[in-house]
Structure 1
Amino acid sequence: MKSRNRFALSLWLALAASTCLTAPSLAQNVAARSGHIAELSKAGKYSEAIPLAEKLLADMEKTYGPAHRDVAGALNNLGQLYSSTGRDAEAEPLYKRAISIFEKTTGLDSIEVASTLNNLAALYQRQERFADAEPLFKRALAIRERSLGASHPDLAQSLNNMATHYEKQGRHRDSEPLFRRALAIYEKVGGPEHPAVATLLNNLGQVAKVQGRYAEAEPMIRRSLAIREKALGADHPDVARSLNNLADLYERRGRLADAEPLYERALAIRERAVGADHPDTAISANNLAFLYRAKGRVADALPLVQRLIGSSRAQIRVALPILFDAQRRQLLPSEQALNDALNVIQRGTQSSAASAVNKLAVRIAAGNDRLAELVRRDQDLGSETEALDKAIVAAVSKDRARRDAATEARGKARLAAISAERATLQKTLAREFPDYSALSSPLPITAKEIQSLLTSDEAMVLFAVAEKESFAFAITREGFDWKPLPIGGEALSQKIAAFRRGLDIAGLTEASGKSGLFDLALANELYTDLLAPLEPLIRDKRSLLIAPSGALTALPFHLLVTEKPPLAIPEKFEGYRDAAWLLKRQAVSVLPSVTSLKALRAFARRDPGAKPMTGFGDPLFDPSKQGGDRRTAIKTASRSVVTGAYTEFWRGAGVDRARLAQALPQLPDTADELNAVAKDLGVPASDIHLGADASETTLKRTPLADYAIIYFATHGLVAGDVKGLAEPSLALSIPAQPSEFDDGLLTSSEVAQLKLNADWVVLSACNTIAGDKPGAEALSGLARSFFYAGARALLVTHWSVDSAAATRLTTSTFDRLKADPKLGRAEVLRQAMLAYLNDASSPRNAYPGFWGPFALIGEGAAR
């Protein structure tokens, strides 16, 4: 985004007004110091204000104790200063602590609580954590609407914050009425020249601008700028915000000469006011660099981009086109341009799955058993902290009637205990393993490092997706290339959604007609868009290692078609057999990120579990049928259930597992699947858990680190399928008496607590590649958790898989791996899919919805 509409109305509580202060001289001292800090903050002199605010907080804690209401005010104020200078990681715990103190000392519905909720929500909003921010903004607005009059400026502030939250998500119809209501309040209370009026005019101008209503937007943004210059002075950061937004308007209208001096002035103001490393300064530098490039001044843009790369704040949409042009104009050596581009991509597109792989790599690279144990403990505590933090934020977002004080108190006590334990762990790590910090914070991987990790038969392909254009990179042991792609994120999302139509066989019926079948022409079009520009470098390599981003994580690359088909949709299913599938040419494996290659190869364990496999399948979903004949179930059942029906399975505080059990069809084929694979690999029957034994209890009591392969053959539930289920899960046997330890659903957070040492994990279920919730980042959820737990590769599915097809594909894959272990996982999966595709015994065998659901995530080569 080119600008951020942050409403910077400071809350400086009148500390001296508290009746709790018993020493007048102390009260006066605090009031004077607080007032001075507030004036510095108002003037944008944050570097002067912060040390004074830190000292004031320390003095107040010493005098009044850590839980005093005025200490909460000081915490909130210091948090605002940190937030204003981009130090969000330091601001967040201050806000949380302030909210906790205020709730105890001023009440759950106090104005002080509302103000601090607003500040914490604004922090989350800047980080694009919209789901965390929205309930906080709503609770703050509700408190102020109840407590204040309809014309109070604090109510206007909440209206503005709520509107800004909506606007950042493109919800213009929700945002604009709230902005206008807030503007009316401020014009009435503060007059037409008040700085808050400027903020609302700026925000309304932004709403009009992004909708293309330029003639309406320009006078509002210009008036905002004039008010701010008059009221705040020419060098205030808020003036820079209006300058930036007006410049963006001119740029959108093609008035580049008018935009340039405004961007330059905004950057200069921000550099002086908040420093070169502040996020707002980076926004201005990115915008100016983008403008220079649009004017053909790549030589002027390049130094700005290189400075942004150094501070890890370069935007992909800005940096990659400039680096590409600089290379082409010989302003940069080609290898340096590539490495700078890789740096930007790695710092800008780190997925949660990639982070999990990196954490696993840190533990593996530690080598020393004691170090690995300490690191795992610290990482587990960090994950628990994140979960508890989210729970506490969710709690403070609720109305008084829905709060659970006892649960909140336990959560806060646990957080304090974790903080103490992690502090001790960090001291131990620093004392016993001084090199650990370098290991845990690896630098971005370079092109030469990637080349050194590839074999002569491999090519790595990675993508960077921006709003209007994207970039594709190819690296082999012998060379590299990268190309701009004239397609942006939204267009890619639409194409991929259309591409996936007809693949989910659960929704495919005779009534679908040809229009509901897989489109070969679109598959070829996507190949032309994404891989054809790199074909000279990659086409002769046997294996493709693809690191997708954004919408591309939902694309099964092996189903791209390399040659234009005679018909988009063949007359008969057999016609799909002759398509030029990419799979016919190359094996494909998917990497969560560029750095995952190094994590999985340079630090790969050579000591997987000693036992070949353990598996869990054909779980018992309805305990009342235990011991009955379940083999009469339909053998071709899809491993999914109609999504819409899941919303009926939520009752009270948990999933209604009785109704869920009735809706989940049994999967007797999964027993055949597991038994067949077990026979191939010489796995004893005691390591295959079926029926009631395929339970969470069995799983959690099994020494999983002893096994090279962990195999699940069951239903997969994507978050959002079951109302109230906030994370993806695998359905295991549902016990007659569900407990916290075993409720029949193995969630991704429970997976992350497992201890694995697995060459790979097989998730022969439905849609196990999906993210945590509809529209979320893919390759997260279950994939992230299994990587974190200790898997080096995952076999996952892109859509609801036909049960018989899953059995055939997986048994064929393991058959081939046993026959020739040197082939590697990606190649044996490729051969299994091709054998299915080429089997002419049934017309449907040629249809990709049956033979193509699986994808190999992680290390696809032979171990």
Structure 2
Amino acid sequence: MRSRNRLIFSVCLALLSGTCLSAPSLAQKGDVAALSAKINELGRAGKYTEAVALAQAQVESLEKRFGPAHRDVGAALNNLAQAYGDQGRDSEAEPLFKRSIAILEKTVGPDSPEVAAALNNLAALYQRQQRFADAEPLFKRALAVREKALGSGHPDLGQSLNNLATHYEKLGRHGDSEPLFKRALAIYEKAAGPEHPAVATLLNNLGQVGKVQGRYAEAEPLIRRSLVIREKVLGREHPDVARSLNNLADLYERQGRYAEALPLYQRAATIREEALGANHPDSGISLNNLASLLQTLGRTTDALPLTEKTLANGRAQLRVALPVLLAAQQQQLLPAGQALDDALNAVQRGTQSSAASAVNKLAVRLAAGTDRLAQLVRRDQDLADEAEKLDKAIVAAVSKDRARRDVAAEQRSRDRLAAISIERANLQKTFAGEFPDYAALSNPLPLKAAEMQALLSDNEAMVQFAVTEKASYVFAMTRERVEWRSIPLGADALSQKIAAFRRGLDIGKASDASGKSGLFDLALAHELYGTLLAPVDALIKDKPSLLVVASGALTALPFHLLVTEKPAAAIPDKFDGYRDAAWLLKRQAVSVLPSAASLKALRVFAARSEQSTKPMTGFGDPIFNPAVKPGDGNRPTRTAARSLATGAYTDFWQGAGVDRARLSDALAQLPDTADELNAIAKNLGVAAADIHLGEDASETTLKRTPLADYGIVYFATHGLVAGDVKGLAEPSLVLSIPKQPSEFDDGLLTASEVAQLKLNADWVVLSACNTIAGDKPGAEALSGLARSFFYAGARALLVSHWAVNSEAATRLSISTFDRLKGDPKIGRAEALRQAMLAYLNDASSPRNAYPAFWAPFALIGEGAAH
């Protein structure tokens, strides 16, 4: 079975045609209804340019006649948005759909079929963009409204059933999707007849469900019937015909029937390019599918020009581009340097993470200095973040039923969004007029190999990974040379191996040596080394510093725990046996970069910032139960790990306040973090007033502290990761819980609050649990808290991969800073490496050799001295 990416982009599950609204209130006064029908008809015929022109004229005419908030203007805006969406112009379509929904909700009511249609269309746009969490509640609300208003046999209900089923199918939820598709098919066959285009869509989609589950004998006649209907009713050159051709070809390809698949892919590509244009997303899908099959057939010469076309228009898929380019290089169809740079271009465009984006924003801001430009840049970025949050809030609101809506609050959000739009437009004019160099910096192009090499020092090597469906790729470089190789493991296989790798890093299972069940598997660590790094080891092994740019599941892999030589045993008889393993950390200091471009951002731009005036501020040993004071006899002296007890996060809250007793029961106090912070402060000569412990380790104190004055900002506390804790909307650090929680201070420093801080920190230390993790299950790692701290102004982060043993965290942190103080030239990554090795080599306790204790931390960002 293909991966989800393949399902989304190549299989092309089809939404039923988006709904154009007809503005019935004006049908008798002018032919508005007929005009809307004409726009819809043009869209179904694939005449998208004509549809857009007619829809634009309709909006302009109605706004002039009735003003911007009339019911019929809302309907016309939906029509125009749908026409834009058909052309792949989603950025223009989205705000029009939202404006349409707002107008229609006011004029015809939130439970009207017209609103359901517009909700459905906006959800379809989100689905195309893989914004599934945004799409699902909109699809569900549209379905509920239509079923209530129209009845169980209405065709529009069939449309909503199909679209929700399509959503489920793209998430791999076949059991949820198939019955909805069948119900929708029955509605359409009865209401519209067996040869209606909607019937073809449902047949196609049911065929898809069978196909991705390997039920080819069931799937083929369904897709074939869909193709026959579309060719007969829509014409042989219609874009929907290309959809059926593409899907039938994919079915044949899965069965190895390449000779049958090839002409279908070719015909689909021709239809789409002629009907939609070469830059349309659907045209890109067909070009990628055709190139992929040609490469499978060994026809690199034919696949290469198709891949170059997708690279030029930004439609290249890594699963296609990388194998084609690598083969083209090996067969000397392209110069090696061009193939490499094209591949790096595709990787950088295809794997840009939010953490990498945050680093770039930091670089832009710092490069602007501390003058007026810096202030304007920060203002523009803050406005953009605020707009994103407001937009999500509005989408969440319109997904709710009427009884749960706060109309006044929604209107305030819309008003604020309008004001933000005006302010940002004025800022862009200021940038263009006064700071023309800003645009080039704020929208950087992907780096070429030579540019990356120039950023490396003589003692550094960098590896960058790209993970695709069937295979992955590693790019390795030093200042002198570059190599890239394929890795015979795709996304699913890597995910499984990394999950197995991490199962051996559970502190609880490592508390004694009574059994081997669940302990760290050295053989697997060596196998992953052989897969990921051994192909390029000759290039990188002699460099003392290794920079890693990971993607996909690899962001959850602690690379320093790879084992470079075959171990004597997969699981040693005693913990002491782990000490002798050939850990990668023994050979090299490891730093993790959110992206290759972030190296330039951190070394060229961020490095220019002014030095902070004070060495460090720290927050630790917070009070989770205000009734227990520091020094109280009831206060614990030591805890095992900085982790949260099981239980729903929402259980700790009562209305707007905190149930302190329940939260206190779940959160173990961390008195040893006071020792950790005080020891580090003493080493660095930090004033006592800059270390905030107990009740003073609060959000109130933090938000009132001039954090930009400090080179290090240190948190020693619990970290709560969204997704690990039910009901937690975003990752947070736990600070002291006040007696009267408020919006300003509720004891949890969330990622969104972190982003609003103003830092100028060489590094931020998150001596907590799981701070490297993503902010929801399946999310990219290095996001959440890490992303927010980069955005706020951190140039490096010390974060943890798993629940940290508290005593170990204290010891490792103190040791790292002590070594860095003794020799600042060694850099952060080497200081951390030495601290870990010292812990590993301490024979006073057998468990010191076990990696769950000595290796939880990773350095993200700039690890070198400067």
Per-residue Cα deviation, 1:324-354 (whole angstroms, up to 9, x for no partner) = 0000000011111111010111111111101
Q: 2:359·2:602 contact (CA, 8 Å) conserved in 1?
A: yes
Q: 1:497 to 1:197 in 2, by over 3 A?
A: same
> Do residues 708 (structure 1) and 711 (structure 2) align?
yes
> Do residues 745 (structure 1) and 748 (structure 2) align?
yes
Per-residue Cα deviation, 1:728-761 (whole angstroms, up to 9, x for no partner) = 0000000000010000000000000001000000
Q: Give the Å deviation of 1:502.
A: 2.6
Compute the TM-score of the two structures, normalised by the length of structure 2: 0.97
Would you say how many aligned residue pairs link Structure 1 and Structure 2? Answer: 857
Aligned partner of 1:847 among 837, 845, 850: 850
Residue 17 of structure 2 is matched in structure 1 by 9
Residue 340 of structure 1 is matched in structure 2 by 342
CA distance in 1, matches of 2:650, 2:413: 29
Return the letter of the residue paired with 2:159: Q
Q: Give the Å deviation of 1:34.
A: 3.2
Per-residue Cα deviation, 1:445-486 (whole angstroms, up to 9, x for no partner) = 010000100011101101000111100110110001111100
CA distance in 2, matches of 1:273, 1:816: 65
Aligned partner of 2:585 among 576, 580, 583: 583
Q: 1:610·1:708 contact (CA, 8 Å) conserved in 2?
A: yes
CA distance in 2, matches of 1:587, 1:630: 43
Aligned partner of 2:821 among 813, 818, 822: 818
Q: 1:267·1:281 contact (CA, 8 Å) conserved in 2?
A: yes
Compute the TM-score of the two structures, normalised by the length of structure 1: 0.98
CA distance in 1, matches of 2:862, 2:825: 13
Per-residue Cα deviation, 1:574-616 (whole angstroms, up to 9, x for no partner) = 0000000000000000000111111111212342311100000
Q: 1:631·1:668 contact (CA, 8 Å) conserved in 2?
A: no
Residue 809 of structure 1 is matched in structure 2 by 812
Q: 2:75·2:100 contact (CA, 8 Å) conserved in 1?
A: yes
Residue 428 of structure 1 is matched in structure 2 by 430
Aligned partner of 1:552 among 551, 554, 570: 554
CA distance in 1, matches of 2:258, 2:658: 57
Q: 1:649·1:722 contact (CA, 8 Å) conserved in 2?
A: no
> Do residues 170 (structure 1) and 169 (structure 2) align?
no
Secondary structure, counterpart of 1:471 in structure 2:
strand
Aligned partner of 1:57 among 59, 77, 80: 59
CA distance in 2, matches of 1:504, 1:561: 19
Per-residue Cα deviation, 1:123-175 (whole angstroms, up to 9, x for no partner) = 11111111111111111111111111211100000000010000001100000
CA distance in 1, matches of 2:660, 2:143: 37
Give runs of aligned pairs for residues 61-72 of structure 1, distance below 5 A: 61-72=63-74
Q: 1:506·1:640 contact (CA, 8 Å) conserved in 2?
A: no
CA distance in 2, matches of 1:652, 1:183: 45
Aligned partner of 1:478 among 463, 476, 480: 480
> Do residues 603 (structure 1) and 610 (structure 2) align?
no
CA distance in 2, matches of 1:631, 1:688: 24
Residue 79 of structure 1 is matched in structure 2 by 81
Structure 2: gaps of 5 or more residues: 1-5
Aligned partner of 1:733 among 732, 736, 741: 736
Secondary structure, counterpart of 1:244 in structure 2:
helix
Return the letter of the residue paired with 1:13: L
Q: 1:254 to 1:494 in 2, by over 3 A?
A: same
> Do residues 18 (structure 1) and 18 (structure 2) align?
no
Moved more, 405-414 or 850-859: 405-414
> Do residues 832 (structure 1) and 835 (structure 2) align?
yes
Residue 303 of structure 2 is matched in structure 1 by 301
- Computed over aligned residues only, the root mean square deviation of the Cα atoms, in angstroms, reads 1.5
Secondary structure, counterpart of 1:840 in structure 2:
coil
Q: Give the Å deviation of 1:510.
A: 4.4
> Do residues 772 (structure 1) and 800 (structure 2) align?
no
Q: 2:181·2:202 contact (CA, 8 Å) conserved in 1?
A: yes
CA distance in 1, matches of 2:648, 2:504: 21
Secondary structure, counterpart of 2:852 in structure 1:
helix
> Do residues 661 (structure 1) and 664 (structure 2) align?
yes
> Do residues 676 (structure 1) and 679 (structure 2) align?
yes
Q: Give the Å deviation of 1:658.
A: 3.9
Q: 1:631 to 1:624 in 2, by over 3 A?
A: closer
Secondary structure, counterpart of 2:693 in structure 1:
strand
Q: Give the Å deviation of 1:653.
A: 5.8
Q: 1:12 to 1:636 in 2, by over 3 A?
A: closer
CA distance in 1, matches of 2:312, 2:589: 37
Q: 1:245 to 1:577 in 2, by over 3 A?
A: same
Q: 2:648·2:727 contact (CA, 8 Å) conserved in 1?
A: no
Q: 1:171 to 1:462 in 2, by over 3 A?
A: same
Q: Give the Å deviation of 1:513.
A: 2.5
Give runs of aligned pairs for residues 281-296 of structure 1, distance below 5 A: 281-296=283-298
Per-residue Cα deviation, 1:771-809 (whole angstroms, up to 9, x for no partner) = 111221110000000000000000000011111101110
Q: Give the Å deviation of 1:53.
A: 1.2
Aligned partner of 1:696 among 691, 694, 699: 699
Aligned partner of 2:325 among 323, 326, 332: 323
Moved more, 805-814 or 767-776: 767-776
Secondary structure, counterpart of 1:605 in structure 2:
helix
Return the letter of the residue paired with 1:236: H
CA distance in 2, matches of 1:84, 1:634: 64
CA distance in 1, matches of 2:565, 2:684: 38
Per-residue Cα deviation, 1:180-235 (whole angstroms, up to 9, x for no partner) = 00001111111111100000000000110011111111111011000000000111
> Do residues 518 (structure 1) and 520 (structure 2) align?
yes
Q: 1:126 to 1:534 in 2, by over 3 A?
A: same
Residue 117 of structure 2 is matched in structure 1 by 115
Q: 1:622·1:734 contact (CA, 8 Å) conserved in 2?
A: yes
Residue 616 of structure 1 is matched in structure 2 by 619
Secondary structure, counterpart of 1:855 in structure 2:
strand
Per-residue Cα deviation, 1:64-111 (whole angstroms, up to 9, x for no partner) = 111111101111111111111111111111111111111111111100
Per-residue Cα deviation, 1:500-541 (whole angstroms, up to 9, x for no partner) = 113121454549721111111110011011001111100101
Secondary structure, counterpart of 2:88 in structure 1:
coil
CA distance in 1, matches of 2:501, 2:56: 55
Return the letter of the residue paired with 1:743: D
CA distance in 1, matches of 2:502, 2:19: 50
CA distance in 2, matches of 1:781, 1:458: 28
Per-residue Cα deviation, 1:22-43 (whole angstroms, up to 9, x for no partner) = x83xx23x34543432332221
